[in-house]
């Protein structure tokens, strides 16, 4: 965010409901509500000609917002390591992940949320479990800090939201130029069943896969990501 502020952009971030410093409400932890919350914020600030950037679950949130609410307010869309079109393995999505994978995340979260966050950030999220990786303890603890601030109910329900929501029709409905970025070694949202499929469904997409980069590439390789974002938003 500081990078783009320094380039003269107005930069706005929000805490998803139940996450960060947002209110820890008990319900509405699904993509429809996430997108509607963004719409309420955008309308309150009267944002126009905006560029929406979504990473991971936020990519799903941004996709649904742009498709259902933002057609007259959005100039461009960026999806980074994003969950669309659909993470869950189904008959129509055979390359997805089995439900057991997400049930396992729910079990770990319910059993010991604090430990789960440490292990998730210290392992697959940033690729710190790969041979030769040099983990940043600061990045791990900051991920833990952000997670532990939120609601355990929101995070638990959010697993269903990011894994079982089908964004196929949302992607087809989006007409604005969209940049799709993804790490080639993403262990959280496997690239083969996400970025390339989304790019094909979008009307105007640019796809870029970063060889060997992890899911949390915005933190591990910000210079690479920022340069491509700047090129896209100023083109």
Burial class (CB in 10 A: 0-12, 13-18, 19+), 2: exposed
* CATH number of this structure's domain 12-233: 3.40.50.1820
Task: Give the number of other Cβ atoms within 10 Å of residue 53's Cβ.
Answer: 24
Question: Is 152's pLDDT higher than 90?
Answer: yes
* Catalytic residue status for 194: no
Confidence of residue 62 (pLDDT cuts 50, 70, 90): very high
Cα 20 to Cα 159: distance, rounded to the nearest angstrom: 16
How many CB atoms neighbour CB 195 within 10 A?
28
Signed CA dihedral, 57, 61, 66, 68: sign only? positive
Of 37, 56, 155, 163, catalytic: 56
> For residue range 158-207, what is the model confidence (pLDDT) as tens digits?
999 999 999 999 999 999 999 999 999 999 999 999 999 999 999 999 99
Q: Is the pLDDT of residue 71 over 90?
A: no
Q: Which two tokens stand for residue 227?
A: 């340069």
Instruction: Answer yes or no: 30 catalytic.
Output: no
**First-to-final CA distance of the chain:** 19
Confidence at residue 22, expressed as pLDDT on a 0 to 100 scale: 94
Whether residue 186 lies in the annotated active site: yes
DSSP one-letter code for 121: I
Torsion of CA 120, 132, 87, 102, to 10 degrees: -30
Enumerate the domain spans of the chain: 12-233
Percent of the chain having pLDDT more than 90?
99
Rounded to two decimals, what is the model's pTM?
Answer: 0.97
Mean pLDDT of the chain: 97
Mean pLDDT of 225-232: 98
**Phi-psi bin for 79: left (phi > 0), alpha (psi -120 to 50), beta?**
beta
CA separation for the pair 203, 45 (Å, rounded):
28
Q: List, edge to edge, every strand of the sheet that includes 178-183.
A: 50-55, 74-80, 178-183, 205-210
Express each pLDDT in 87-107 by its tens digit. Answer: 999 999 999 999 999 999 999
Output b/e per residue, 5-43; b: 16+ Cβ within 10 A. Answer: eeeeeeeeebebbbbeebeeeeeebbbebbbbbbbeebe
The catalytic residue among 186, 194, 198, 205 is 186
């Amino acid at each position: 965010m500081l990078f783009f502020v320094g380039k003269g952009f107005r930069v706005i971030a929000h805490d998803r409901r139940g996450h960060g410093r947002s209110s820890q409400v008990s319900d509405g932890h699904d993509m429809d509500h996430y997108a509607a919350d963004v719409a309420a914020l955008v309308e309150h600030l009267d944002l126009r000609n905006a560029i929406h950037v979504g990473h991971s679950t936020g990519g799903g949130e941004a996709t649904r917002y742009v498709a259902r609410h933002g057609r007259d307010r959005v100039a461009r869309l960026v999806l980074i390591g994003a969950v669309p079109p659909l993470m869950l393995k189904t008959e129509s999505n055979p390359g997805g992940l089995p439900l057991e994978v997400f049930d396992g995340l729910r079990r770990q979260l319910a059993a010991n949320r604090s430990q789960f966050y440490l292990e998730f950030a210290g392992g697959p999220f940033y690729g710190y479990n790969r041979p030769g990786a040099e983990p940043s303890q600061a990045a791990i603890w900051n991920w833990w800090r952000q997670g532990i601030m939120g609601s355990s109910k929101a995070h638990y329900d959010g697993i269903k939201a990011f894994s079982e929501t089908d964004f196929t029709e949302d992607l087809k409905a989006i007409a604005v130029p969209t940049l799709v970025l993804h790490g080639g070694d993403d262990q959280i949202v496997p690239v083969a069943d996400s970025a390339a499929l989304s790019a094909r469904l979008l009307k105007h997409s640019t796809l870029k896969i970063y060889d060997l980069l992890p899911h949390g590439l915005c933190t591990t390789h910000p210079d690479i990501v920022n340069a491509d974002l700047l090129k896209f938003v100023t083109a």
